[in-house]
Structure 1
């Protein structure tokens, strides 16, 4: 399983943004109000992922991987990678959605009072979704094994 490519995530953001903009164009009249608290749950998940990433990175650097007390089980690292990949993909789709909402609202702020009120909440939600993507990519990076500073000697061909 390789690292998640940033261009694939960017494509997901773009696709979700296009679909989200078209959806906002149709359903904004019945859309619930967007407050500054709307996207804050994403920030909570991002903080949790970042904290887990720092813990995993510290234990990998200290060599505390394996079975035993105080050690991080290798399956826990593998599960962390799966959670990081899923969070990166979900965060990029949600980021695309909130970017679409922001792009829809910005030109309408002058003519629609509701659009002006919703803009701040949509921007905060987009920033929280971006934080989720960054934290997920950081966790995924922290789960990789550290590079050896000295290359191992190659066995003689034989």
Structure 2
């Protein structure tokens, strides 16, 4: 089975479904929520940063054809693990972004009437942006993990040699 790039439509579906579920849950139970700090959604930023750096490292190795079991080479299993990390992060990031979006859709209009909603809005914005950042970083890592183009089986053109 060939591993395919993640479809943007799948990510959008995750965001929409999570946003609707979070909006309903927030609407029904907001009075029971603890205060949302600015740090609540910020935990995804370090993961996004690590994935961006990992993407640059893997891309450099792939472009230099330094893939293999050698000491200074990128082991294929390491690339596969990075791809699995990217795939998982795409799901987590899109769902987290959807949850924070759904929360914001209920809280943001309530800011003028509820002091708690006004206080919770910055934390929700940070969380939403963290989810988007993780999705962007994971898409970059997924792109960097692609195998280089395979050489063709066609014989070399004698006119060019």
Q: TM-score, normalised by structure 2?
A: 0.90
Q: Secondary structure at the match of 2:16?
A: helix
1:85-143 superposed Cα distances (whole Å, 9 cap, x missing partner):
01101111111000011111111000001100110110011001100011111100000
- For residues 30 and 114 of structure 1, what CA distance do their matches in structure 2 show? 11
- For residues 23 and 44 of structure 1, what CA distance do their matches in structure 2 show? 28
- For residues 139 and 22 of structure 1, what CA distance do their matches in structure 2 show? 33
Matched with 1:59 is 61
Matched with 1:143 is 145
Query: CA shift at 1:154, angstroms?
Result: 3.2
Which 4+ residue blocks in structure 1 deviate beyond 4 angstroms? none
Alignment of 1:3-18 (within 5 A): 3-18=5-20
Matched with 1:109 is 111
Count of residues in correspondence between the two structures: 153
- For residues 49 and 89 of structure 1, what CA distance do their matches in structure 2 show? 14
- For residues 46 and 32 of structure 1, what CA distance do their matches in structure 2 show? 26
Matched with 1:42 is 44
For structure 2, which runs of at least 5 residues remain unmatched after alignment?
A: 156-161
RMSD: 1.4
- For residues 65 and 17 of structure 1, what CA distance do their matches in structure 2 show? 40
